[in-house]
Structure 1
Amino acid sequence: METKPQTIKELIKENPNSLISQAYFFAENAHKGQKRLSGEPYFNHPLKVAENLINLNLDEQTIAAGLLHDTIEDTNTNLEDIRKKFGDQIAFLIDGVTKIGKIKYRGVENQKENIKKLIIALSEDIRVVFIKLSDRLHNMQTLKTLSPEKQKRIALETYEIYAPLAYRLGMHKLSGELEDLAFPYLYPNEHQWLVNNIKEKYSERENYLKRIKPLVIKALENAGIKPIHIDFRAKRYASLYKKLLRYEMDISKIHDLVALRIVVQTISDCYAALGLIHNLWPPLPGRIKDYIAMPKPNGYRSIHTTVFCVDQKIVEFQIRTLEMHEEAEHGQAASWKYSETKETKEYLEKKSVSTPEKEIEWVKKLRDWQKETGDSPDFIDSLKVDFFKDRIFAITPKGTVVDLPAGATPIDFAYQIHSDIGNQCVGAKVNNHIVPLEYELRSGDIVEIIIQKGKKPSASWLNFVKKASVKNRIKKNLKNSQFKTQEPKQIELKIVAENKTELLKNILTTISYSRINVKRVSSNVDNRGQFQTIKIICKIDDRLSSGHRLSGGHRLSGGHKQKISKLILKLKEVKNVKEIDYRFV
């Protein structure tokens, strides 16, 4: 069998006039004289990215775009130069990678999914994601040259965004590599603990499985099953640590520290091999998982079984075909390698039970492309991913992603950030240009909202805002502004109490029974951990009237004063509460 070239230079030697060859020399010249922080030539980076794409068995255009992906950001080359030299499709791929590079993630929990969606939405051609993931892999491999602050930020972004994104695309090998590269920067002590405590365990398990492997091979061959290969799969550190947390750090409870992986010819062989293993050794109840019949949401297929093996040691086996193995390693990217076969057809029929039809059709067209030559327009159209066509993902100047319906305007964006921002909006900049408030936003737009304190929403906004919830907020504010002369006021409660587990829950329950709305809660514990100070902002939702004077010259209505006085008395009855004070804010 002919071996596929694994380096760019081998591909260039094979075809000196190819698209890849042209991209190589163009990028090499564009980056001439540039150095990375390590001191090595900058061109080494796009070269390595392109070779990562070769290892994913991707097409010539994608590999060429990998070579060129940094030319717009880091050289004097512009997008039009790329378009003229290499055509619209490569320009499109590079533009997509450039836009994704502008997204920043700093660990805000509710941003994870939006950022993943934005990456895919910006990548109408899924190959943009492949390039970005390959780019991130090499950046993580060379992260040690950056400052500790940048190392941690990039590692966090990799661990929480790019590794899960690769996993979602079924690219388990790449996902695991990204997690393991990020793990030491984010959890240095935990990583060192694993190195110190698990390394010998890996060796012990591998030596044990070397005794098991010949027994498995003999049983398979006696049954007429010729395995393609049998190897060991060691659990990665990051994945292992997550699992250990669920088992109270007890390594004896981890049965798949090193698993035996069997790759066979057909799906029938998979099930036959499963039966043979169970004839040799009894399975653990409830530990047989058939991901062939019921693939994971990301398309992963395999049979897992855990058995009581030689010397009553527990061993996990993973059984799959070669196609399943390629898909498990490279996910969606593996679609480029295989032409349609009987097994592929069976897989797509099974997968269609749990996978959107558009994605199935997309995978089919990728496979069919192997039968074609050139870049036909029909094929290029089939690469367009429309999973999020009814959504757009705009970005704040700080890099926060905002999920909005298609057709949303800056007003929708402003209210999504905060009602106060929406109410006080007087203008908007999109990609650093002033736009009308009825402007329709697009995915990747960087939106800056201009506000004026005290400004009220305009009734005309109701004619063009997209979100129903935004319309309701505008209507409510317009209605309230007709009879309110002051904004709603707030009371800050300050509670000092003994630091007990159920304390905050009991306090908030008491407040909720008093029909007072809690807006914000914060707490601090003293150095000895004995006392806790809790601050609670409560909203007074009726308009103010004459009544009791509070700090700052404000007056609180008699009804409110009575309500708060009753609340204070009830809070003093809460167990472990020692002191309560409040003030007008």
Structure 2
Amino acid sequence: MSQPIEQGLFEILTRQQRRAEDIAFIRRAYEFAYKAHDGQYRKSEEPYIIHPVEVACILAELNSDAQTISAGLLHDVLEDCDVKPKEMEEAFGKDVRQIVEGVTKLGKFSFSSKEERQAENFRKLIVAIAEDVRVVLVKLADRLHNMRTLDHMVARKQADIAKETLEIYAPLANRFGLGQMKWELEDLGLKYLHPEEYAEILQLVADSRSEREYLITQVVEKLRGELVARKIEAEIVGRPKHLFGIWKKMKRQEKTFEELYDVLAIRIIIESNGDKNFCELNADPDTQKCYEVMGLVHALFRPIPGRFKDYIAMPKFNSYQSLHTAIVGPKGRPVEMQIRTRKMHHIAEYGIAAHWKYKEAGDAAQADTDVDRKLSWLRQLVDWQQDLVDAQEYLDTVKMDLFEDEVFVFSPRGDVFDLPTGSTPIDFAYRVHTDVGHRCVGARINDRIVPLNTNMKNGDIVEIITSKNAHPTMDWLNFAKTHQAKNRIRQWFKKHHREEHIQQGKQMLEAELGRSNLEEFLKSPALKEVGRKLNISDPNDILAAVGYGDLSVSQVANKIREQEQAEAIAKKGYVAPTPTSQPSKPSHIGSLGGLMHHLAKCCQPVPGEDILGVVTRGSGIAVHRTDCNNLLKVDADRRMAVDWSQERSSAYPAALQVECLDRVGIAGDILKKVSDNKINLRDLRVETHRDKKTATINIILDVIDVDQLTKVSQSISQISDVLRVQRRDHRKKTTQKTTPSSSGGSNVTPLKPTGKKKNVNINPNPTPAPVKNATLRTSKKRSQTAE
């Protein structure tokens, strides 16, 4: 008999000796979520409620409070069920409602691309985390369980989610000190993004397990004896590096697994005598023992120079503390050592969750002032999202500034500043204060005057030389590393050169649109609508943004043309719905934005092919290939220029007709080429022609763009006995044509090898149209097998 879905969660809560009222609160949240998700199923065909329960289990293992666990149970209710925020707040309080809203994606808005939607969702997430840091725990737990159950997604979707996880969520877990969660997210991301390399490393680690265990045992036994003799209580744990770490090192150092010697690691965890609740960040009473053990390790084994790092004296940005060193172990194999107290280990594993304080009344308190100081980078993220209008630029900035390695430098007074690797004195100056950056004229590093584009190193003492009359120069943007510095420099130029930027922006738009068109636009009511779409109300602000580079000319020009097209369509009496009428369907055509449109069924264009739009009655705009015969029947005033969006997330059906000699295995060879190109096969039909000893194979593929279609077509054309490959309308059904000599409907016939050369003729247009447009360009040869 299977156990109830929620049993595992409440076993964890009972084992942790949670208060009865907290357990009752969580059970009420479970029952609410169960009822809301009733009848919903995941891709695995399991009841959907299993997912929020597993998310809650992850949060419970992190010792999260009752509100956070309840939010984990309810995190998809607002997004996927008919439940209003007000209803949730009345049932579970304001905290739970705010956490769930912070996790909920922006589903009610229209975006021009998947990247824009992703960036805006991340922007919203950061703001929500700044208001209540528990949001990040629920979001990361949600992503972790989704990664654990990614097997049921198609390969392309798996790769997209894994890439997003490695670029955003694993570094975010690292920023909040959630080490265990970061490692699992990275390993799972590698598994689905690079499955072959993941499987190879997994097998190599498994094969070397016995030797690794022997080496670790030798070191551990020697250490344990000395620690007991000195009456130091400690747990010694040997472990291999996690798979993503090994893979990353192999890529960075361009080495094979066998050439990596430092995949062994030993962790010494000294038992703390302090508060076992591990919620305070005060000085650890057992810190001194870490240094004592470090001296013991270096006395027993030869240390490797340059590998010692003291993260106790200088903790990482996420509060991580530990002593790192590397020694020469048995058989000359290097072994990494980490030495920390139990309290430091708890913070390293659970990060921000370890800092959360609980009141006796059961309500979670906000993080204390020390933790708040540690999260100052989060407030910086919120400041950036206010400064940057473009969501994609914001996301790129976050990836660059927060998720890179850091260097630690000192001011002359001894203050420590952490900056991204590659930062220059300009970045340091703006980190100290905006005015210091604006008035910077030079810098000293370790008492030596250096150029302002010098890259700083760990431990450098940096002094900024200032002058009252100094100001930024544009070339600083070429070597400034941090967004904070770049943004302050841009703001200074915006403020002091606004009129120049307005004139420059006007000239750039005139060159694109023409002077008369631009002047007409600036005086028309359409200006207000375009400004609304760009989040700018003042016409001069639009011109200034173009002149300075905050907005590209194409961005503004496309919005103007989109507005003109909408007005032209309305004048003709056709329906052009608002962008919000299609919130969830991605746009194939960049120039149409949110206007209703669809790909014409007669010619089924594929991204990369030349296309033309046709305004229809009641069905928006139909997008045809320019060589489509149906365009001949369309009036010129109903045609409009369109182009493909840069988004390539969707797959498009495309049909190929393959004419070949009828031999055993020819269909299998074609399928092998399709599989090698990692293309999904939607349909395959075979017609045999016994009298000619040939066959016609019709296949329908899901392709991303015309380049992918061209590539697979060329691959198929190179197969022995393939005569011709051409595009065809995938909607036309093939009719089975076989000669009376066909036996039992067999579609292949054994054929002796022929000495004749094959004819490769990839013809994209079986029925030529007046418009010349070769959609699949491959070499053509004159037929030598048939006249």
In the alignment, what sits opposite 2:342? 322
* Cα distance change, pair 82–230 in 1 and its aligned pair in 2 (3 A): same
Helix, strand or coil for the counterpart of 2:239? strand
Q: Provide the rounded CA distance (Å) in 1 between the counterparts of 2:108 and 2:299.
A: 56
Q: 1:248 to 1:284 in 2, by over 3 A?
A: same
What residue identity is the alignment partner of 2:175? R
Counterpart position of 1:148: 155
Give the 3-state SS of the residue equivalent to 1:7 in structure 2: helix
Normalized against structure 1, the TM-score is what?
A: 0.60
For residue 165 of structure 2, what is the aligned residue in structure 1?
158
1:300 is aligned to 2:320: yes
* Aligned with 2:50 (options 36, 41, 44): 44
CA contact (8 A) 1:230 1:262 kept: yes
Are the structure 2 counterparts of residues 199 and 334 from structure 1 closer, same or farther at C-alpha, using a change threshold of 3 Å? Answer: same
Spell out the pairing of 1:220-259 with structure 2 (5 A cutoff).
220-227=227-234, 229-259=235-265
Cα distance change on mapping 1:91 and 1:272 into 2, 3 Å: same
Conserved? CA contact 2:347–2:354, under 8 Å: yes
1:270 aligns with 2:290: yes
Aligned partners of 1:243, 1:114: CA distance in 2, in Å?
A: 32
Matches within 5 A, 1:128-527: 128-227=135-234, 229-265=235-271, 266-336=286-356, 369-375=357-363, 386-392=379-385, 448-449=533-534, 458-459=539-540, 469=548
1:378–1:56 CA distance, 2 compared to 1 (3 A): closer
SS of match in other structure, 1:390: helix
| Secondary structure, counterpart of 1:153 in structure 2 | helix
What amino acid is the match of 1:11?
L
The 3-state SS of whatever aligns with 1:392 is helix
Report the CA distance shift for 1:68/1:31 in structure 2 as closer, same or farther (over 3 A). Answer: same
Aligned to 1:28, the other structure's residue is in SS state helix
Greater Rg by CA:
2
Instruction: Report the aligned-residue RMSD.
Output: 4.6
Q: Is the 8 A contact 2:103 2:125 kept in 1?
A: no
Using the alignment, how far apart are the partners of 2:349 and 2:106 within structure 1? 24
Whichever residue aligns with residue 18 of structure 1, its letter is: A
Question: What residue in structure 1 maps to residue 20 of structure 2?
Answer: 15
Aligned partner of 1:60 among 66, 83, 90: 66
In 1, the alpha carbon distance for the partners of 2:167 and 2:211 equals 32
Cα distance change on mapping 1:257 and 1:47 into 2, 3 Å: same
Secondary structure at 1:315 match in 2: strand
Q: Look up the match of 1:96.
A: 102
Residue pair 2:290, 2:339 contacting (<8 A) in 1 also: yes
Separation in 2, partners of 1:91, 1:380: 23
C-alpha distance after superposition, 1:96-148 (max 9, x if no partner)? 0003789999997x999997665322322111111000000000000011122
Deviation string 1:492-541 (CA, Å, 9 cap, x unpaired) is xxxxxxxxxxxxxxxxxxxxxxxxxxxxxxxx9xx9xxxxxxxxxxxxxx
Task: Pick which of 173-182 and 183-192 moved more.
Answer: 183-192
**Contact conserved, 1:202 with 1:257, CA < 8 A, in 2?**
no
The amino acid of 2:212's aligned partner reads R
Question: Equivalents in 2 of 1:191, 1:287: separation in Å?
Answer: 28
Amino acid at match of 1:15: A
Report matched runs for 1:61-140 at 5 Å.
Answer: 61-99=67-105, 119-123=125-129, 124-140=131-147
The change in CA–CA distance for 1:113 and 1:310 in structure 2 (over 3 A counts) is farther
Mapped partners of 1:217, 1:50: distance in 2 = 38
In structure 2, the CA distance between the partners of 1:77 and 1:244, relative to structure 1 (3 Å rule), is: same
Alignment CA distance shift 1:106-1:221 (3 Å): farther
- Cα drift, residue 270 of structure 1: 0.8
What residue number does 2:562 align with? none
Give the direction of change, closer, same or farther, for the CA distance of 1:299–1:469 in structure 2 (3 Å limit).
farther
Residues 292/34 of structure 1: CA separation in 2 closer, same or farther (3 Å cut): same
Query: Structure 1 regions of 5+ residues with no counterpart?
Result: 337-368, 409-414, 428-433, 440-447, 478-523, 528-585
1:47: how far off? 0.4
What code does the residue aligned with 1:392 have? Answer: Q
Q: Against the structure 1 CA distance between its residues 285 and 398, is the aligned structure 2 distance closer, same or farther, given a 3 Å change threshold? A: closer
What are the superposed Cα offsets for residues 363-404 of structure 1, whole Å, 9 maximum, x if unpaired? xxxxxx335534388779998963444333688799985989
| Mapped contact 1:57–1:333 kept (Cα < 8 A) | yes
- AA at the equivalent of 1:375: D
AA aligned to 1:7 is L
Which residue number in structure 1 is paired with residue 695 of structure 2? Answer: none
Check conservation: 1:159, 1:179, Cα contact below 8 A: yes
Paired residues, number? 412
TM-superposed deviation, 1:202? 3.6
Q: Is the Cα–Cα contact under 8 Å of residues 8 and 50 in structure 1 kept in the other structure?
A: no
The aligned residue for residue 27 of structure 1 is 33
CA distance in 2, matches of 1:160, 1:469: 29
1:267: how far off? 1.1
CA contact (8 A) 1:105 1:400 kept: no
Q: Which amino acid aligns with 1:56?
A: L
Cα pair distance change 1:176/1:308, threshold 3 Å? same
TM-score, structure 2 normalization: 0.46
SS in 2 for 1:259: strand
**Contact 2:545/2:551 (<8 A) preserved:** no
Specify the code of the residue in structure 2 equivalent to 1:177.
Answer: E
- SS of residue in 2 equivalent to 1:316: strand
* C-alpha distance in structure 2 between counterparts of 1:198 and 1:332, whole Å: 31
Q: Distance in 2 between matches of 1:105 and 1:328?
A: 40
Report how far residue 198 of structure 1 moved: 3.1
SS at match of 1:386: helix
Report the residue type matching 2:539 in the other structure: S
Distance 2:176 2:366 in 1: 23
| Cα distance in 2 between the residues matched to 1:112 and 1:295 | 32
Q: What is the CA-CA distance between 1:467 and the residue it aligns to?
A: 11
Task: Report deviation, 1:251.
Answer: 3.4
Q: How far off is 1:315 after superposition? A: 1.6
Q: Does the aligned pair in 2 maintain the 1:205–1:258 contact within 8 Å?
A: yes
**CA displacement, residues 290-330 of structure 1 (integer Å, 9 cap, x when unaligned):** 11112222222111111122343322211111111111112
Letter paired with 1:458:
P
Tell me, yes or no, if the aligned pair for 1:106 and 1:157 is still in contact at 8 Å.
no
Q: 1:288 to 1:10 in 2, by over 3 A?
A: closer
